[in-house]
Structure 1
């Protein structure tokens, strides 16, 4: 059974419904409560960079003081993933409550807010090196790690899952608003994230050595700070024997994040089996894949996606059906088929986080009501108190 771990970035919300720079204070509270083994120290997170703490459950700072990041322990079942996410969301929320705030699983802020950077040497270097890109970014993603045997298997997996990753962006879309305005996108986080010079899809690799040569070449340009800034849509972890998929918005509902984790594990296992059987690597060029990424962020599940097999538009529901069929043997073997299929069906029926946000704004006309509804759902409410 391949193991799986999930990292989520959360917004810290002040009592006025606006993201507040209280993340570092909340983490200090969590640390003082005797959770030091679970709450990663600031300097340790900074030293490790973006791939910081996978393998140990944690709460850590993020680039902006209006954020916190949580990470689960290594899990073998989706039930474990669900329990871990619920536990760590609750821990993050309790720490935020202690400083007069809450947390919300929103991938961007529905209300206008000035991002405040977190103090620290590495974060300061990011601001100096990347200017407005680093100053502007206040986005929350969800990263899923799945175990692989070694780098050769990992690169074979990266080669075969790359065409499916835009579908995961559409499935998790939860960021329609930016600077208080509706962007017209379901996942505007994906647009903002690709401002980083090392972010986005890439072509297939000949082997693990080819992958590592590319990483070395990226670092040799002097453009990114370290391996933590190799922001490929999917990458080999620098510290753990995992493939890390980084294309998803943070999900409002825990169950949607569990569905994502199940799909990613299914994709990894399916790709590894294809590699062992000698199946060809899908031939979609990176230029076309970038268009698929854009299309997924634009319409989410409400329009057409670029089909991973044909490179042509197809209804989102049809693409998701094909994704489930593609990974179904792996899902069945892991005991995940029923749960993941039900999770996909639920998303198609009720919509994504972006859809819920727009429904709340249409009903209330109040962007802060959207934030408060997200706080409710993040805390485990089946339905937000706002419409």
Structure 2
């Protein structure tokens, strides 16, 4: 009998090894799923819990161990200056030591971890107390031939355990989501030693307009901000420097930082032409118009080739991409550079830009995200509908 072979029911073929390159998260999620599956079956079908309790708790504990090991490494990389683990991190099974490293790393990284830590801490500490090294529910006896659990726990109710594990599992997943979110946020580079991007954004909204900074009231505002966010005056000065050079946040202090890659006139001309092309294509199938290369589509393509440089077309594409809710405003410049470096042929680039769907409204949203007030006003003045501008 071959244990490790593919079967006729391909839906039950699990991809392992180099087939799919599963990482530690696959293992962690797998142990998590096993706990849910076995607990639900035990409760719903009335299975005897005396034997299945051991693999259930072992899988639950191992899921926690893998979570801590993965998260410690990831959190250390979020800001790039945190080092709490040791070279033996991945080999240790000491849940208590892993938990302390996680608490330290998350505390040094960002205060938004605090609530997550408080929610999952009781259950993880309880697991650590009952099974500190992962042996208690794996073997009946320890290395000294002493029976596990005799001096600690005598009853484990599967229903009670599963209810608590569900809350723990949800908390762990939320903590993992937070790390992914913070990795993206800190990846923008918009932060200081004392403040995250989120805090800097809030402070930019609380500062008065830059034109008032020479007035006595500004000192009062700064003192209140320092007290509220527990930052030093020097730390606030660093934050203010970030705000003054940040397109999105500078707007909150009354400063507009314009993009220099393309003029307002050329953006407006592109939008007018694109909107007209779309309106023309609505008389027939838009995809057919694109594939045929006839009519307005061909005229638009020629218009791009003759009037726009690769840098300008890169700017249009970057504005469209940065409009995504998943994209930070800081990404605009890198996107623009990437597009420019990726294409060298104007005609080819024009064809690509011409084929992008819904690009006109996306460009307008991108301009809004970058707080390009003057450009939006100009576009509106020539008759292109830019929608609401709530931040004016």
What interval of TM-score do these two structures reach, taking the shorter chain for normalisation?
Answer: under 0.3
Structure with the larger helix share? 2
Q: Which has the larger radius of gyration?
A: 2
TM-score (norm 2): 0.23
TM-score (norm 1): 0.23
Bigger relative CO (Cα 8 Å, ≥ 6 apart): 1
Structure with the larger strand share? 1
